[in-house]
Amino acid sequence: NAGVTQTPKFQVLKTGQSMTLQCAQDMNHNSMYWYRQDPGMGLRLIYYSASEGTTDKGEVPNGYNVSRLNKREFSLRLESAAPSQTSVYFCASSDQGQGYEQYFGPGTRLTVT
């Protein structure tokens, strides 16, 4: 049981390049999330998927797109990376049981130069 996995762990992009961050969970959770965390800050929600087949914007969705590929996988795409998107990206999942406890992945550290 790996929990929530993310790939890659580290990535450096040049301004204008595109890339996709991958996230998968093996806990059969309905809901999945993408957050970003800038240095010294809390987490900010980018997008979430309440259930398979649905996605919704969070607090900071501009510059990102998401795909809920199936129940297990939720990807985050940067179409044209900008230096302001330099951050650590965390994927999380949860189910709709008591408390809605979220399980987080280890994060992807992205640098855009």
Partner 1 sequence: DAKTTQPNSMESNEEEPVHLPCNHSTISGTDYIHWYRQLPSQGPEYVIHGLTSNVNNRMASLAIAEDRKSSTLILHRATLRDAAVYYCILRDLNTGGFKTIFGAGTRLFVKA
Cα(37)–Cα(17) distance, rounded to whole angstroms?
Answer: 21
Among 82, 101, 111, 113, binds partner 1 (CB under 8 A): 101
Q: What is the CA radius of gyration of the chain?
A: 13
Binding segment (CB under 8 A) for partner 1, from list 18-26, 27-35, 61-69, 71-79: 27-35
Q: 40 to 99, contacts with partner 1 by CB under 8 A?
A: 40-45, 48, 50, 56, 58-59, 90, 92, 96, 99
The backbone torsions φ and ψ at residue 83, rounded to the nearest 5 degrees and listed phi first, read -55, -30
Q: How far is the CB of 74 from partner 1 (least distance, A)?
A: 13
Are 21 and 108 contacting, i.e. CB atoms less than 8 angstroms apart? Answer: yes
